[in-house]
């Protein structure tokens, strides 16, 4: 067990992950270190916001992909109210869009879940001091993004470009199907491809990106 100076402040940590097994594993990990204390667990972003109000953590270990409210959205909401909290994005995903969204939302660090116990402990200590830690994979993603500006929407098919303006107007799948005289299952297929190619997590986000990058007139 790591021994620390008695005058050193214990870092209060909250774990946010929708998988109970992950939370259990992280809980066991935190018990190894004397300078860290687990003060709460949440299975969703909305629960995490409530816990921050009640418990005032120093550091949050935040999963990125969760139902209802994903990690980047939760990070942004938490930091809007509790700017002193430091959040470590801890995830299995290394996609460029997710890394960028997490850091843009205000995450202090971005680590993959295969990180070692000592590396995670060091990252928590650094985060508590306001210093960042980036997984090498995440750093590589950011470097690639900086040197290869994203050409959003160039890979959309002609059919997807026909669906996109209707999506932007707020039409649902049934309305789009009737307008284009195709089946709703075909519309769902096109919409799914559009979200994937734009790196969007919702129809609303896809519509915003389409307008931002002038993909619709």
Between residues 161 and 213, the one the model is more confident about: 161
Among residues 115, 147, 179, the one where a domain terminates is: 147
Can you tell me the mean pLDDT for 45-72?
Answer: 93
- Report which of 113, 6, 107, 91 is spatially closest to residue 59, judged by C-alpha positions: 107
- Put residue 68 in one of left, alpha, beta given phi > 0 → left and psi -120 to 50 → alpha: left
Query: How would you label 148-164 residue by residue, b for 16+ Cβ within 10 Å and e otherwise?
Result: eeeebbeebeeebeebb
Phi and psi at residue 41, to the nearest 5°: -130, 145
Q: Check whether residue 75 and residue 179 sit in a common domain.
A: no
Q: Which domain holds residue 207?
A: 158-212
Q: How many structural domains comprise the chain?
A: 2
At residue 18 the predicted structure's pLDDT band, cuts being 50, 70 and 90, is very high
* Per-residue model confidence (pLDDT) at position 188: 94
Co-location of 67 and 127 in the same domain: yes
Residue 60's φ and ψ, nearest 5 degrees, are -120, 130
CA distances to 62, 110, 111, 115, 143 from 136, in Å:
18, 10, 9, 11, 10
Q: Residue 148 above 80 pLDDT?
A: no
Specify whether the CB–CB gap between 101 and 73 falls below 8 A. Answer: no
User: Is there a contact between 145 and 100 (Cβ–Cβ < 8 Å)?
Assistant: yes
| pLDDT at residue number 7 | 57
Q: Do both 66 and 39 map to the same domain?
A: yes
CATH of the domain at 162: 1.10.10.10
Alpha helices in 116-202 (DSSP H): 117-128, 136-147, 158-168, 173-180, 184-198
pLDDT of amino acid 178: 95
Q: pLDDT for 156-193, tens place per residue?
A: 999 999 999 999 999 999 999 999 999 999 999 999 99
The pLDDT confidence band at residue 9, using thresholds 50, 70 and 90, is confident
What pLDDT was estimated at residue 4?
Answer: 43
The CA distance from 105 to 202, in Å, is 17
Same domain for 124 and 18: yes
> Do the domain assignments include residue 197?
yes
Same domain, 127 and 22: yes
CB atoms within 10 A of CB 74: 27
Q: Could you report how far apart the first and last alpha carbons of the chain are, in Å?
A: 62
Domain boundary among the residues 95, 114, 147 is at 147
Same domain, 92 and 169: no
User: Is the CB of residue 66 less than 8 Å from the CB of residue 18?
Assistant: yes
Residues 188 and 138 in one domain: no
pLDDT at 199 over 50: yes
pLDDT in tens, 85-131: 999 999 988 777 788 889 888 999 999 999 999 999 999 999 999 99
Question: Is residue 1 one of the residues assigned to a domain?
Answer: no
Give 132's DSSP letter: -
CATH code for the domain in which residue 88 is found? 3.40.50.2300
The mean pLDDT value for 148-161 works out to 81
Q: How confident is the model at residue 3 (pLDDT cuts 50, 70, 90)?
A: very low
């Amino acid at each position: 067990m790591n021994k620390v100076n008695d005058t050193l402040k214990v870092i209060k940590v909250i774990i946010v992950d929708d998988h109970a097994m992950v939370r259990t594993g992280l809980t066991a990990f935190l018990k190894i270190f004397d300078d860290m204390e687990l003060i709460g667990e949440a299975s969703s972003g909305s629960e995490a916001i409530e816990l921050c109000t009640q418990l005032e953590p120093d550091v949050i270990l935040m999963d990125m992909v969760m139902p209802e409210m994903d990690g980047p959205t939760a990070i942004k909401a938490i930091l809007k109210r509790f700017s002193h909290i430091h959040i470590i994005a801890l995830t299995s995903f290394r996609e460029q869009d997710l890394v960028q969204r997490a850091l843009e939302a205000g995450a202090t660090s971005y680590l993959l879940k295969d990180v070692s116990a000592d590396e995670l402990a060091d990252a928590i200590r650094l985060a508590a001091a306001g210093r960042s830690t980036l997984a090498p994979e995440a750093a590589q993603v950011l470097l690639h993004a900086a040197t290869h500006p994203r050409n959003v929407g160039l890979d959309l098919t002609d059919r997807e470009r026909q669906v996109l303006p209707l999506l932007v107007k707020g039409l649902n799948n049934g309305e789009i199907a009737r307008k284009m005289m195709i089946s709703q299952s075909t519309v769902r297929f096109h919409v799914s491809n559009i979200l994937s190619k734009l790196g969007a997590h919702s129809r609303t986000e896809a519509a915003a990106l389409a307008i931002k990058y002038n993909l619709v007139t």
